[in-house]
Structure 1
Amino acid sequence: MKLLILLTTSFPLGSGEDFIPAELARAFGFDRILVCPCSPQKGAVQTKSLPEGCELVQLPRRSLGRSAYMRLLLRSDVRAEISLLAKEGQLNGERTHELLFFAKNAVEIAAALTETISVRPGDEVVLYSYWLYDAAAAGVRFADSLRKQGVTVRQISRAHGFDIHPERRKSGYLPMRRYLFHHLDRICPCSEDGAVVLRQQAGPDAGKIACAYLGTNDNGIGQHSREPFRLLSCSYLVPVKRIHLLIAALQQTDFPVVWTHIGSGPLENELQAEAEKLPPNVTVQFLGQKTNAEVLAYYREHAVSVFVNVSSSEGIPVTIMEAASFGTPVVATDVGGTHEIVKNGENGFLLPADFTPQALLAALQKMRNMDAEAYDGFCRNARKIWAEKFSAEKNYHAFYSALNGGNTL
């Protein structure tokens, strides 16, 4: 039997990981696909359906308690990581705590997988972690136990943003990188930018790194007009998304603008209060949290002049893929792999990571004031670049062909 075991954070429970359904709908080559949310919020219920052939496995995860930290210090992999940090002059209390918390999660997840999932000698298993973090480390332990039972196991992991860039973390540290690079068979960052970073980190295991783009569904071409000029942004309202800078840019506009934001978050009330101070030529709509289906329906039912993303860090935003699939031009910060989907002067405009509100306003004005032929060209190019590089149909077929040995990533 060929078995795919997908380790997620919470999908299909609760919120988040909305980009997984498009992939699972195109998964092929396996007799069974088990979807295992490893760290869902307490009490989370299933909110997303699974396609035929996929099964939800809820793991009976049991906390090891705080006393586990001392026992973890006796583990050879943890001791090796501490020795490495000390050798590099990187060991401190904060990183030690982060390492132990990471290792504790990995051990708990691995124990739950071992308790719950049964396989037989001779089975072929692909153990697939969606994030290059604690679930991937748990997968290493689980894979070892399966191999001892005579099971053939390949272990792969995707990587996105936080699990690639240690500098994005307060501690500047991602635990057990070398351990993961050594034990995993393949690591697939979602951008070429991420692949470059991981290869630099991986050293002798750099050959295991291969970019595998995510993709979005083809929902047709959207409506586009610029009178009034309609901006759409879609993000969780947290500091890294820097929506306050978009508000600062709109504060200086002297032309009619309709700005719609989809998404909620801890800064929602603060940003809404800021937006209420915008001049009367700016109409603001905060639509709150929406399902992915509702976001796609918005594109089908409303004209969008430009999609805006001004995050300080990204992988390749799936929100930009969705906008591009509808033929919507984009103004975005040149961070992470964003330049792999937004080509400056072709389907949108790129801003430096440390842009000013004035620079953002200038890009929006340029988009608004270009002639109709140029704007239509941006729309066509957005759709073209999406179709060539970020189509779910194309990308996931290639990905699962590779998982089944049909081609290499």
Structure 2
Amino acid sequence: MPVSTIFLLTKKFPFGHQEAYLFAELAILKQQFDKIVIIPHDEFEYDHSKNRVHGEDKVVIFEVNRQLKKTSIATKWQALKTAKKWYKIDLNKRVKKDEVVQHKLQYSIQMKHAFAQAEAVRKFLEDEFEDLHQIVLYNYWLHRGVLLSARLKQLVIDREVAIVSRAHSYDIYHDHWFDMFKEANPKFLPFLYFKLNVVDKIFTISDHGKRFIKEEYKVPTEKIEVARLGVTDYAKANEQSRDQSELLIMTCSWVTNLKRIYLMPEIIANIDKKVRWVHFGSGHDDNLQKLYTEIDKYNLRDSCEVKGVVPHRDIIDFYRSNYVDLFLNLSTVEGIPVALMEAACFGVPLVATNTVGNPEIVNNENGIVVPVDFNRENLAKMINELFADDMQVRRKRAASRKTFEEFYHAEKNYSNFAGKLKNWF
């Protein structure tokens, strides 16, 4: 019998402003399932004014961290005993002997919280879904939600439970994650080997991710499948006329050391044409200051607009209202950025580093691929050469749109993926 209710475990979605790319997938899930239960396991405030799906039909939000009960001594003891089994493989594989005690503490804290969350979800299922005998727990990230899922599966032995998870970027390439969060401890994501073992299927968003998990962690090929993300086809609106007097260049990401938005001013300073650069996204004060220092260094305040964090619809409206000439992604590591998919949807030529999954969406047909350690002046030269040739620009715009249509169309990708979940059992 097809699955009628899907349980989607997110970090914070639909609260706050993160994980905005889930909207396109949610629209397709609503077509395939009678009910979507979203469990944002890393959200604690549950500010209803920031609930971005408030009032949507078929969607139920379970505020799991509001339902946690005081953990009994018996439950704490069970968590510790189970944690011992779950983290043994990880510690043996990944931790030096003199660090074991420190890491056991970190593992035990996560396990205790996952146990409490799982008990809250078990009670929720008992109260609201008593007759649901087949459950698909769909983890959007290969993170702590998988621990919750694993414990829940132990608790509901009278039901058939499947645990599946997507795997993106930072939940796979952990070394780069801790380049961002240097104070984080331990220097890897706890329970990784356990999570890879307990999930029934891992859906990576890129071919690179699939190869990496298979080769790095020796996960069987049949347990990993590529399920690409996608974006809604927004580009049915008419395309604006190009302003020949300047280039409109766009970037969209958090302002972090990994995203390297601070490299943009030097690139722009070496482009022959007048440039208007628009960036969507913000960051911590120190990273923003680093960016503005570079902007001032090249005297580009009048050419740059850092718009900060805006509603997703504002970004789409910007594409619809403007002829964007070029979109850049300069990251040191990426899965496959949704921002590149959106730019491709509008037929915008793409520039990206050849890191991880980027070459799966950006190539010499639809844009420019550069090494991670690229030379800024050389990239500016390539951009100059591109926009000196109108025919080449038109070819790349057509190729960019074609990339979207063939590989990153939300309705196609998410319908296929949702169908797999719906017919899991």
- Give the TM-score normalised by structure 2: 0.86
Question: Counterpart of 2:161?
Answer: 153
Q: Is the 8 A contact 1:261 1:287 kept in 2?
A: yes
Q: Is the 8 A contact 2:80 2:108 kept in 1?
A: no
Displacement, 1:83?
5.4
Bigger RCO (CA 8 Å, 6+ sep): 2
Q: Does 1:367 align with 2:386?
A: yes
**2: CA distance, partners of 1:302 / 1:319:** 16
User: Comparing both structures, which one devotes a greater share of its residues to helix?
Assistant: 2
Q: Identify the match of residue 84 of structure 2 among 78, 82, 98.
A: 78
**1: CA distance, partners of 2:250 / 2:393:** 17
Question: Counterpart of 2:124?
Answer: 116
Question: Counterpart of 2:259?
Answer: 241
The aligned runs of 1:5-404 (5 Å cut-off) are 5-27=7-29, 28-42=31-45, 44-45=47-48, 46-49=50-53, 51-59=56-64, 60-62=66-68, 74-82=80-88, 84-86=90-92, 90=96, 92=99, 95-118=103-126, 119-120=129-130, 123-146=133-156, 148=157, 150-170=158-178, 171-203=186-218, 205-220=220-235, 222-223=239-240, 224=242, 227-266=245-284, 267-279=287-299, 283-343=303-363, 345-369=364-388, 371-404=389-422
- Give the TM-score normalised by structure 1: 0.89
Paired residue type of 2:147: A
Displacement, 1:71?
5.2
Q: Is the 8 A contact 2:80 2:111 kept in 1?
A: no
Paired residue type of 1:312: T
- Any gaps of 5 or more consecutive residues in structure 2? 179-185
Deviations 1:14-34 (A, max 9, x none): 120101111111114433211
Displacement, 1:383?
0.4
Q: Is the 8 A contact 1:72 1:100 kept in 2?
A: no
Paired residue type of 2:52: K
Displacement, 1:97?
4.8
Paired residue type of 1:142: L
Q: Is the 8 A contact 1:127 1:143 kept in 2?
A: no
- Any gaps of 5 or more consecutive residues in structure 1? none
**1: CA distance, partners of 2:228 / 2:70:** 36
Deviations 1:169-190 (A, max 9, x none): 4354222222222221111111
**1: CA distance, partners of 2:94 / 2:424:** 41
**1: CA distance, partners of 2:323 / 2:131:** 56
Q: How many aligned residue pairs are there?
A: 402
Q: Is the 8 A contact 1:256 1:282 kept in 2?
A: no
Q: Is the 8 A contact 1:230 1:304 kept in 2?
A: yes
Paired residue type of 2:359: H
Paired residue type of 1:76: T
Q: Is the 8 A contact 1:307 1:329 kept in 2?
A: yes
Deviations 1:53-103 (A, max 9, x none): 1111111254979x99x9588323434524552366545266445434433
